[in-house]
Structure 1
Amino acid sequence: MISVMFVGHLRELALSGASMATSLASVTGFSLLKGMGSALDTLCGQSYGAKQYHMLGIHMQRAMFVLLLACIPLAFIWANTGPILMAVGQDPDISAEAGVYARFMIPSIFAYALLQCHVGFLQTQNIVFPMMLTSGITTLLHILICWILVFKSGLGNRGAAVANSISYWINVLLLALYVKFSPTCTKTWTGFSKEALHDVLNFIRLAIPSAVMVCLEMWSFEMMVLLSGLLPNPKLETSVLSISLNTTAVVWMIPFGLSSTVSNEEEVVNYVAMMMPVLALSIFLDGIQCVLSGTARGCGWQTIGAFVNLGAYYLVGIPSAILLAFVFHFGGRGLWWGIICALIVQGLSFIIITLRTNWEQEAKKAIDRVYSSIIPVVTASLS
């Protein structure tokens, strides 16, 4: 959000390019890694509940190994962002700007992968304050880094991409130092171990549906930005949809700030003001489904969640968005109303699933999952 604000003070094309690059980066990288990392919600959460504390460190190392490997092909995709966007019909000028921005963001994807592993490791232990503190420190530094690299170094919007990479690495390094030296993690982090490589396939089996579940939801939001590039006046529509997406991401902090601080263009500011009531409704609905999705991940229902998100977003949400935006000519507002339709279907589906669940049976499944992950480690140790 901070990076978009700084780029918004440049020119409209720079904001559009950064917005498009960020959306493609989220679709092809961040959402995938976040989804794969969310497998730790199940594995670490259930191991911690079973008091198998040493397994949390093993699970995190396993996740780090798998996610870093996944970053390699994703980096090649980011390096070719410009040609990819032009191939799907985006504006050539915006595509070129986005391609440059994405290449400068490549280092951030490796830091983001490690960050998701550390967050999952700490969050399942209810260690929240250190994450808040390190994020706060990183955010303050990010403001300074963005100001220097965007306005003072002459890099322009490329400076914002470099600032993203630097800040992600600062954040993950701070958390890594906390995990290594904090007494609260002595039981769960005992150092690097080759045992983390013994059960990789089982982690991947859970990480893939976890990624599908998260990606199907996040992709639908980012697709609104990509679709906005096909509307008349793509620079305006892309800028506004990006601001709208960032507003939903930071609504708990400063939901009112973006309409006046992100862009100097009066047309953009007025359009964003019209979008705010629509965003308010989507934020309310998204809050409900976020809680229910967390329940699904904790229980290991990622496959069920993936089907729910597939139906809600791709059978209801995106077709509704395309219909409202391109047939009824509601523009960016029509795209976002499609998201609201998806959120309603998603929330209702998760409510029904939660109410009809046999929780005693789910507890037995959790016990089986915990002890099945311990057996390979014990066997390897004995051998």
Structure 2
Amino acid sequence: MKSIEAPLLVKITKQPEEEEKEKIRWLKMKKVASMAAPMVAVNMSQFLLQATSTMIVGHRSELSLAGIALGSSFANVTGFGVLFGLSGALETLCGQAFGAEQYHKLGSYTFTSMIFLLIISFPISILWMFMNQILILLHQDPQVAELAAFYCIWLIPALFGYSILESLVRYFQSQSLISPMVLSSLAALCFHVPFCWVLVHTFDFGVRGAAVSIGVSYWLNAVFLWVYMKHSRACVATRISMSKDVFLHTKIFFHFAVPSAMMCCLEWLAFEVITLLSGLLPNSKLETSVISICLTTSSLHYNLVNGIGDAASTNVANELGAGNPLGARDSASAAIIIAAVESVVVSSTLFLSRNVWPYAYSNVEEVTRYVTEITPILCISILMDSFLTVLSGIVRGTGWQKIGAYVNIASYYIIGIPIGLLLCFHLHLNGKGLWTGLVSGSTLQTLILSLVIGFTNWTKEANKARERIFDEKVWRHDPLVN
């Protein structure tokens, strides 16, 4: 009798535990999804400011499409990508500080980010003023290079607005205050589309009108969030104000900001390299246009899935700051599951509509036919990017930006780009070969980050987060802190 009853007893006692674990996983998935959905709206609205500008200008001519696409790509890598990456430090600092209930630090961390991002915008602006010469040195078509440089010069005011906007977005995101960001970003987008159309087509300002419209929209978005932060009761404990702490937080901010920027910029730079290489191919305007369309579509998807990555980053950071390692692990797992579902839906939809969606960018038959041919490779890229974006969000929430930067270097610059060069120039696959190289890099990066997160000691990471938030003086005075 004992040999029969004992197993039954074990089964009965284990069942409630399994049910409780399943309930916790479901709750975490709902929590991540409830934040991811509105963050998708925020990210998509911001991205569509540039994407709609490309579409509006692109219908003027193939030259206009190539010029604004190259200019946007260069501006994203050397400017917006740098600022976006640097502000990623706030996902670790503000997210963990909020979880640890150190609310006063959110305002001072965010103010630090604003000041340094504005300062960094000045040398970026100077670089953009010489972009025409840089692109010509890189053997780009002189007409396309001139148009791209003209676009970026008029885009400089947007750079400073973006510095304020991205810092505020991370500030609200860390507190899960998503509603004001959704309202402000949607309002900015609704303003931008007709305004851009009028400037580009009615007043015939071309790429200049698109750049001005983007700048005005970024500043409107930033002003709205700033006013909300100053007057909302939800921000009383975390309110941003001018403080000398901007100097006290400098070391810890750049400790995360620099590798965070490297994570972002190294990946974006890989895509920029591919775009530049496409300009060296025999039919350069066609190849550049097609690669730029693929890049814009991939970026569109990135901003879709990045909402899930942002939700993962925030929830993981909050849980680690609160000293809850199991909550951090479950939040990471929930985000990965949601990303898996999203990747299948998006890649399948894109493949099934491969004969239709290219017309959103161009009416030139040669361009749309080439885009249709490269769509299957693009679908695989989107599949990998879904996982990669969420894994990168978990990395930022945990504070592993250095690991992410090293993995980027290995994946794209040691593996991905060399494979792309081999397929493009030696096997004569042209743009298809270049994009296949990127897919191989993102696949390797996804596998490595999956292994890193899979073997994580979450208890150790929670302890490190608590020590970081409550004993920040170590970061200011100890030169050996890693």
Give the unaligned 5+ runs of structure 2: 1-50, 305-345, 477-482
Match of 1:311 in 2: 410
Return 182-191 or 16-25, whichever deviates more: 182-191
Q: What letter corresponds to residue 358 of structure 1 in structure 2?
A: N
- The reply on whether 1:327 has 2:426 as its aligned counterpart is yes
**Aligned equivalents of 1:347, 1:91: Cα separation in 2:** 35
- The reply on whether 1:35 has 2:134 as its aligned counterpart is no
1:334 positional shift? 1.2
Deviations 1:9-49 (A, max 9, x none): 11111111111111111121111111110000110011001
1:84 positional shift? 0.5
**Aligned equivalents of 1:88, 1:80: Cα separation in 2:** 13
Match of 1:50 in 2: 100
Deviations 1:318-374 (A, max 9, x none): 111111112111121111111110111001100111122221111111011101337
Match of 2:120 among 50, 70, 78: 70
Question: Equivalent residues in 2 for 1:197-212 (5 A)?
Answer: 197-212=247-262
**Aligned equivalents of 1:232, 1:298: Cα separation in 2:** 44
Match of 1:289 in 2: 388
Deviations 1:179-215 (A, max 9, x none): 2222211111153323233221321222111111221
Q: What letter corresponds to residue 14 of structure 1 in structure 2?
A: S
Return 367-376 or 200-209, whichever deviates more: 367-376
Q: What letter corresponds to residue 239 of structure 1 in structure 2?
A: S
Match of 2:189 among 124, 127, 139: 139
Match of 2:439 in 1: 340
Give the unaligned 5+ runs of structure 1: 378-383
The TM-score with structure 1 as length reference comes to 0.94
Q: What letter corresponds to residue 200 of structure 2 in structure 1?
A: V
Match of 1:369 in 2: 468
What's the secondary structure of 1:224's corresponding residue? helix
**Aligned equivalents of 2:296, 2:475: Cα separation in 1:** 43
Deviations 1:287-322 (A, max 9, x none): 111111111111111111111111011111111111
Return 320-329 or 43-52, whichever deviates more: 320-329
The TM-score with structure 2 as length reference comes to 0.75
What's the secondary structure of 2:280's corresponding residue? coil
Q: What letter corresponds to residue 274 of structure 1 in structure 2?
A: E
- The reply on whether 1:260 has 2:359 as its aligned counterpart is yes
Question: Equivalent residues in 2 for 1:167-206 (5 A)?
Answer: 167-206=217-256
Identity over aligned pairs, percent: 42
**Aligned equivalents of 2:88, 2:468: Cα separation in 1:** 16
**Aligned equivalents of 1:66, 1:372: Cα separation in 2:** 23
Match of 1:226 in 2: 276
**Aligned equivalents of 1:242, 1:134: Cα separation in 2:** 28
Deviations 1:247-270 (A, max 9, x none): 122235996675112212111111
**Aligned equivalents of 1:147, 1:296: Cα separation in 2:** 39
Match of 1:115 among 165, 171, 174: 165
1:225 positional shift? 1.5
Q: Which has the larger radius of gyration?
A: 2
Deviations 1:25-81 (A, max 9, x none): 112111111111000011001100100011101100000011111000000011111
What's the secondary structure of 1:191's corresponding residue? coil
**Aligned equivalents of 1:89, 1:25: Cα separation in 2:** 18
**Aligned equivalents of 2:240, 2:156: Cα separation in 1:** 31
**Aligned equivalents of 1:175, 1:325: Cα separation in 2:** 46
Number of residue pairs the alignment of both structures matches? 377
Return 83-92 or 173-182, whichever deviates more: 173-182
Return 43-52 or 112-121, whichever deviates more: 112-121
**Aligned equivalents of 2:271, 2:410: Cα separation in 1:** 15
CA contact (8 A) 1:220 1:313 kept: yes
Match of 2:175 in 1: 125
Match of 1:100 in 2: 150
